Amino acid sequence: MNRILIAEDEARIASFVEKGLRGNGFVTSVVSDGVAAYDYAATGAFDLLILDIGLPLSDGFTVLRRLREARVDVPVIILTARDSVSDTVAGLEGGADDYIAKPFAFEELLARVRLRLRADRVPEASVLRVADLALDLRTRRVHVGDRAVDLSTREFALAEIFCRHPDQVLTREQLLSHVWGFDFDPGSNVVDVYVRYLRRKIGADRIETVRGTGYRLRAG
């Protein structure tokens, strides 16, 4: 199931896009400023980013430039004003894969989303390994050394994002977005609860708490 990040500060448009995509079977997360757009997209947890140019805090051009400089190759569809040809050109030259002008019909956006998700991508490894922890993305089997470990769907998703970013501090908000898609209140302690569950199964010392920030999976 494809995960799509929607970076749009106009609540009406964000809701319109999110409802339409969810109705077509996609998993969505929404952010409303450029700083959050970069933070979430940079986790590698999303298959596509729908990026509004006029975001607050950090505009879409800056978000796109930072992502490409960080070699984050997530496909990006930019949203731009219909009469802003210069914005469209700048976005495409800056690394966007496609654009759509406001106002737009949802069917047109959906067609562009499906096209970009079908584009040939470099196949990723089917097994993620960090030290003696191994996650098989196809079979959903997990091993710690020679020991098989049973993880729930949420626990596996949490372990997956940690294994994709070993030794990187991930905030609670990033983990919540990836695993729960904002189905829970961002103020909830559900992330902390599931980190405890995961520690019991893969090793208490493997996941480090970074006070005031989040968690980090130790690679060594």
Lowest mean pLDDT segment, chosen from 36-40, 63-67, 123-127, 172-176:
123-127
- 47 and 135 in a single domain? The answer is no
Q: Which of 5, 13, 70 is nearest to 34 (CA)?
A: 5
In this predicted structure, what is the pLDDT of residue 56?
95
pLDDT (mean) for 2-6: 94
- 113 and 131 in a single domain? The answer is no
In this predicted structure, what is the pLDDT of residue 118?
78
Residue 31 contacts residue 63 (beta carbons within 8 Å): no
Lowest mean pLDDT segment, chosen from 1-15, 27-41, 161-175, 191-205:
161-175
Provide the domain count of the chain. Answer: 2
- 155 and 173 in a single domain? The answer is yes
Residue 119 contacts residue 125 (beta carbons within 8 Å): no
Residue at a domain's end among 118, 150, 184: 118
Report pLDDT digits (tens) over 60-98.
999 999 999 998 989 999 988 755 666 666 667 778 888
- 30 and 89 in a single domain? The answer is yes
- 175 and 193 in a single domain? The answer is yes
CA distance 122 to 128: 16
- 60 and 38 in a single domain? The answer is yes
Whether the per-residue pLDDT at 17 is higher than 60: the answer is yes
Half-sphere exposure of 178 (CA within 13 A, CB side): 27
In this predicted structure, what is the pLDDT of residue 177?
67
pLDDT-based confidence at residue 182 (cuts at 50, 70, 90): very low
Q: Which residue has the higher pLDDT, 170 or 92?
A: 170
- 114 and 7 in a single domain? The answer is yes
- 72 and 150 in a single domain? The answer is no
Q: Which residue has the higher pLDDT, 181 or 159?
A: 159
- 114 and 132 in a single domain? The answer is no
Report pLDDT digits (tens) over 113-132.
988 887 655 455 678 899 99
- 167 and 192 in a single domain? The answer is yes
In this predicted structure, what is the pLDDT of residue 105?
81
CATH number of the domain that residue 19 is part of: 3.40.50.2300
CA distance 138 to 5: 23
pLDDT (mean) for 213-220: 91
Q: Which residue range forms the structural domain that includes residue 85? A: 3-118
Residue at a domain's end among 64, 84, 118: 118
- 62 and 9 in a single domain? The answer is yes
For tokens 């210069």, what's the residue?
A: 86
Residue at a domain's end among 70, 98, 118: 118
Buried b (16+ CB within 10 A) or exposed e, 7-43: bbbeeebbebbbebbeeeebebbbbbbbebbbbbbbb
- 114 and 165 in a single domain? The answer is no
In this structure, what token pair is assigned to residue 54?
């006029």
What pTM does this model have?
0.58
- Burial zone of 78 (CB within 10 Å; 0-12 exposed, 13-18 middle, 19+ buried): buried
CATH number of the domain that residue 195 is part of: 1.10.10.10
